[in-house]
């Protein structure tokens, strides 16, 4: 059964957005350094099928940790910051009974 995404995004969409940014950064590095297939495989430490998935932007094939590992191999340091606290919703949670 295929998962449906919330109209407002939700956690799945946020994870996808982060992975897309990481993947774009990897592709920028590969393009800027004019890396060919064998170089991508060697430098990022991945197999040829994974390199194909990367270069063809199959974002669903990668998790954030794998993308961060590949970026670390080429000396990229990742920093995380929250940018949209305005949309933070407070939920009415009943007090815990003792």
Distance of alpha carbon 28 from alpha carbon 26, whole angstroms: 5
Q: Examine residue 95 and state whether it is found in any structural domain, yes or no.
A: no
Q: Is residue 19 part of a domain?
A: yes
Within a domain: 27: yes
Residue 7, number of CB atoms within 10 A of its CB: 6
Task: Answer whether residue 56 is part of any domain.
Answer: yes
Residue 8 lies in a domain: no
Is residue 6 one of the residues assigned to a domain? no
32 with 74: CB under 8 angstroms?
Answer: no
22, part of any domain? yes
Question: pLDDT exceeding 70 applies to what percent of the chain?
Answer: 79
Tokens 């199959």 -> residue? 58
What is the residue range of 49's domain? 15-74
pLDDT digit string (tens) for 83-96? 765 555 666 666 77
pLDDT by residue (tens digit) across 13-52? 889 999 999 999 999 999 999 998 899 999 999 999 999 9
How far apart (Å, rounded) are the C-alpha atoms in residues 41 and 56?
Answer: 14
Asked whether residue 4 is assigned to any structural domain, the reply reads no
- Count of domains forming the chain: 1
For residue 23, give the CATH number of its domain.
Answer: 1.10.260.40
What gap in Å lies between CA 2 and CA 31, rounded to an integer?
34
């Amino acid at each position: 059964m295929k998962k449906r995404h919330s109209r407002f995004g939700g956690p799945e969409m946020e994870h996808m957005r982060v992975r897309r940014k990481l993947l774009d950064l990897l592709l920028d590095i590969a393009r800027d350094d004019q890396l060919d297939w064998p170089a991508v495989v060697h430098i990022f430490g991945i197999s040829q099928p994974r390199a194909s998935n990367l270069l063809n932007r199959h974002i669903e094939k990668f998790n954030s940790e794998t993308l961060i590992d590949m970026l670390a191999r080429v000396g990229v340091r990742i920093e995380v910051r929250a940018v949209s606290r305005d949309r933070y919703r407070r939920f009415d949670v009943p007090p815990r009974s003792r």
